Structure 1
Amino acid sequence: MCEDPDRHVLPEAEEAGLVRLESGRVALRHPLMPSAVYGSASFAARRVVHHLALAQVPSGDPDRRAWHMAAAKLVPDEAIAATLEETAGRPRRRGGDRVAAEALERAAELSPEGRQRARRLLDAIELAGRCPHAPHRVRTRLHPVRGPVPGTPRART
């Protein structure tokens, strides 16, 4: 019989004051703890969490579903990119330029090279430029689009 290697972890974490066990659930004691746990987890572990979260998201919440799908993806996926772009439209219509820029930036990251990627990135840059005091800036870690993309404007005024 194989012993569960994690059965001692929770009591030790509780003794250290990191967690509290309440009604069979683990409650983290500090509000920054979830971010620390998430940030230190491997991509594979985060991907599992996002897939599990997808199962819990109601069908009436397409934005949360899109963000979980995007967070669980590492390689380009046009279907998820298009879904995230659609998600960006909702805050954009309400004046939520920063949130829309973040969604479009992630959609560009998930887009295959080419016109769609360039358009989404250009839209993200344009929206981020409307909120100069916001902490979000379109990250430069996106791979540049090589050469001009036919049909894509070079600059917007």
Structure 2
Amino acid sequence: MKRSETIVIVQAQKKNSSTSTRSDPEILGKEEKKKLQENSFQRWLESKRQEQIQKRQEQEESQRLAAEEEMVKKETAKLSYALWKHKKDQERKANEMRQRQMKEEQEQQKRVKQQQSKERVSQWMRSSKVKPRPFPSNLGLQSLQGNQPKGFFNPHPWVDPV
């Protein structure tokens, strides 16, 4: 039934209740029938209202749950991002520390190597003074005279020009 029909029925009932002084059984049956119809219509309206209220509440609840679920997803994403970022920062710091340690070790090795080479050079300088010097072997027996530089020696004897 439409709303206009229900208004007409309600108005008709009000008229009938004021003019229902007659005790005709047919009229009473119609009045009872109208009351039953009105009663069932009111119950139907009430059930529809309840359904609408329940539907609205369910929609609100589903929207609230969806919003809450979305918020949980956002929080989870933020948390996982924060954990990922923390992990990456830790890895970066560890990598930098490892690089720094490797560089320090290389510098230490370089210093040790330089120190050892300086020691070897100084030891060589000290020991080279004591060691005999090598002689040139291309001069034959004359090389046994030592490493003294020789003066000029003319291989042709001097001839008088006269």
Fold agreement, TM-score > 0.5: no
Higher helix share: 2
What range describes the TM-score normalised by the shorter chain of this pair?
under 0.3
Larger radius of gyration: 2
TM-score, normalisation: structure 1: 0.19
The structure showing larger relative contact order (alpha-carbon pairs under 8 Å, at least 6 residues apart) is 1
Higher strand share: 1
TM-score, normalisation: structure 2: 0.19
